[in-house]
Structure 1
């Protein structure tokens, strides 16, 4: 392997469920791998679990600030919510959200998530076999869960579902996706204004009642959009990939139907195994430093491969298999690590724990409608997933 490579795409590629073999070779031979990008700049790719954890956990030496990308000052208005902000702004905003994502608070959403899942299972059954499970089940559920979380009025949820899904549809080109993001921000800003006048029971209403004088409308809309961005495509992909794996592993599917205690163990292991967010938000060196035996210059970008880290053999034997009883399953980095660990992780886990058994119990004869080799996986993606999941029953 060459000492330095032109910017590779291995960190965004898969062979069905698995990272491509080249990523494993990089991890074994050069755990911090230099990549050239246009402009004679170097980007460093980190792939081992221990090293990725070290970078993600060190906000003193590595910055998330969006200004590093666009060449502006710190904490610029950005598309990533909390993911592209550094302390103290990150700390200030996250403290408002953290209480809303405790399991105690989220349990109030559990009956509504069960109802949403049940509603779309009813629709799926009524429409009949065959069906595309991505479009009819995996895609709408995360969006409507975000509706419940934020407090979007019922009569506006169909429009919100369209706004939230259009941004991830790149078939009409990047301009259409950007317009969908702008439309969503416009809607969310208007929703915040209405909630400020008459706060509801959702997250936005709660934040406005408790911290309304500390948060302006644009900041709250941006936080809501960050939750939508972080929780929609990722959960859609996890639902689709997890279901596909279960259909290909009928013994595990049977156990999901029968054993409630097995489900959370399987969900954690599938999160590790799938690593749908393949690369963490980019980090930037705050200073010149020696790291893993290499010299990293101030301002250089460091990319952390979550899919590479979660398949690191250092985590245990048979790391390329799904073993729900694996002791290290809970140490996975699918949600990141450190101060930027995904704040919505408990909500995503709850969605999976509800949706997988409900789907398999409602349709015990659920099967793929095409051979596994014909299921369309995404080719190159930061968030890995399926283009469609054709099923029959």
Structure 2
């Protein structure tokens, strides 16, 4: 790679006035340099992969390790380089590769099948309706993030995993620290220790008093098969599921609502065909905004670029989802787009998001029921006053004041 002083920085700045669009640089890179060198905030150089076909190829390649997790490249001060060997904790389903990853994924996948998730749809519907009842009982105004978008996926993941919802403020705060790109090592370590301690206590109790939830079933299944998960494995796995299980969906609900307030003519399509609409919203918004990190364990060809073993790559999901080669007029929100599920908003390959079916159900039910019951929903503040999450791994809007009636 070239000298650090000559290497451009990883694109992170969105175009002014376009809160839904990824950095403008991506469009130029897809045309002129689809796999190009960038300097990451973590302090190392990486190959930025911007074309859809190349992103899929990188994520599907088993020689591309996920050992650096999906996002360490945007954490300033991580100080990674090509010779860096990341120590992966047992149970880290996001970072593990090969057999270790497959073992954990197989244990968890049974809980997220289409059939099991569909069985939860009625519960999700009831949650959405109860939160709409509470929101509409307010005097004509509410914060959609606080009152609707955040509590629904938090309740769903708590119910599924077996985490007391009374502890939500605790893990929501810690999750916010862990997904912030401004978090220092000390702050991140403290948040990790706090949430790990909380989960360790929870698992100790579930071993003694199992309930009808995912964590209890994981413990019982492991003991029955002789493949019991140790406490460190359980904690790391639990942390991944808990954080990912509410952060992405909560931000998608709020940001999708804002998009639909900006495109009122599209709401009828959402109500008539929620499955198709949700897939297009996932593609268009791509809330995992800084891409996912991979480490080449062997020499490999990415497009026309030769990548050497020991080099890092960043697969830009939001660039791939705006690639006009696959998505004509990609910068346009189009609910009539063909093959909407070809997007990579949930990643691709062995590490594709386990909870994607659950996220789809939550988005479908939240958006359709919201706009069916509150057809006159509108912003309660000037559009330009909204604040966005430019410094978090998952993009979204910090607050969404809305009004009706």
Asked if TM exceeds 0.5, the reply is yes
Give 1:392's match in structure 2, choosing from 356, 381, 403: 403
Over 3 Å counting, the alpha-carbon distance change for 1:75 and 1:109 in structure 2 is farther
Matches within 5 A, 1:61-72: 61-66=63-68
Aligned partners of 2:252 and 2:287 also within 8 Å: yes
Provide structure 1 residue ranges, at least 5 long, that are not aligned to the other structure.
none
How far did residue 291 of structure 1 move?
A: 3.1
Summarize deviations over 1:85-121 as a string: whole Å, max 9, x none. Answer: 1111101111101111101112232222222222222
How far did residue 171 of structure 1 move?
A: 11
- Rounded to whole Å, the distance in 1 between the matches of 2:280 and 2:181 is 32
- Rounded to whole Å, the distance in 1 between the matches of 2:42 and 2:364 is 46
Give 1:256's match in structure 2, choosing from 249, 260, 270: 270
In the alignment, structure 1 residue 234 sits paired with structure 2 residue 238: no
Summarize deviations over 1:311-337 as a string: whole Å, max 9, x none. Answer: 000113211112222113110000000
- Rounded to whole Å, the distance in 1 between the matches of 2:218 and 2:67 is 24
Aligned partners of 2:269 and 2:335 also within 8 Å: no
Summarize deviations over 1:275-309 as a string: whole Å, max 9, x none. Answer: 00123431011023443333322211100100000
Provide structure 2 residue ranges, at least 5 long, that are not aligned to the other structure.
73-79
Q: Which moved more, 1:206-215 or 1:41-50?
A: 206-215
Matches within 5 A, 1:49-64: 49-59=52-62, 61-64=63-66
Over 3 Å counting, the alpha-carbon distance change for 1:178 and 1:314 in structure 2 is same
Look up the match of 2:88. 76
Look up the match of 2:260. 246
How far did residue 41 of structure 1 move?
A: 4.8
Aligned partners of 1:376 and 1:388 also within 8 Å: yes
Normalising by structure 2, what TM-score? 0.87
- Rounded to whole Å, the distance in 2 between the matches of 1:57 and 1:378 is 29
Over 3 Å counting, the alpha-carbon distance change for 1:218 and 1:40 in structure 2 is closer
Look up the match of 1:221. 235
- Rounded to whole Å, the distance in 1 between the matches of 2:182 and 2:296 is 36
Q: Could you say what secondary structure the match of 1:385 adopts?
A: coil
Give 2:218's match in structure 1, choosing from 207, 210, 234: 207
Q: How many aligned residue pairs are there?
A: 384
Q: Which moved more, 1:305-314 or 1:367-376?
A: 367-376
Over 3 Å counting, the alpha-carbon distance change for 1:40 and 1:325 in structure 2 is closer
In the alignment, structure 1 residue 167 sits paired with structure 2 residue 179: no
Aligned partners of 2:346 and 2:352 also within 8 Å: yes
In the alignment, structure 1 residue 103 sits paired with structure 2 residue 104: no
Q: Could you say what secondary structure the match of 2:310 adopts?
A: coil
Q: Provide the alpha-carbon RMSD of the alignment.
A: 2.7
Give 1:324's match in structure 2, choosing from 335, 346, 359: 335
How far did residue 72 of structure 1 move?
A: 7.2
- Rounded to whole Å, the distance in 1 between the matches of 2:368 and 2:40 is 45
- Rounded to whole Å, the distance in 1 between the matches of 2:44 and 2:206 is 46
Over 3 Å counting, the alpha-carbon distance change for 1:379 and 1:38 in structure 2 is closer
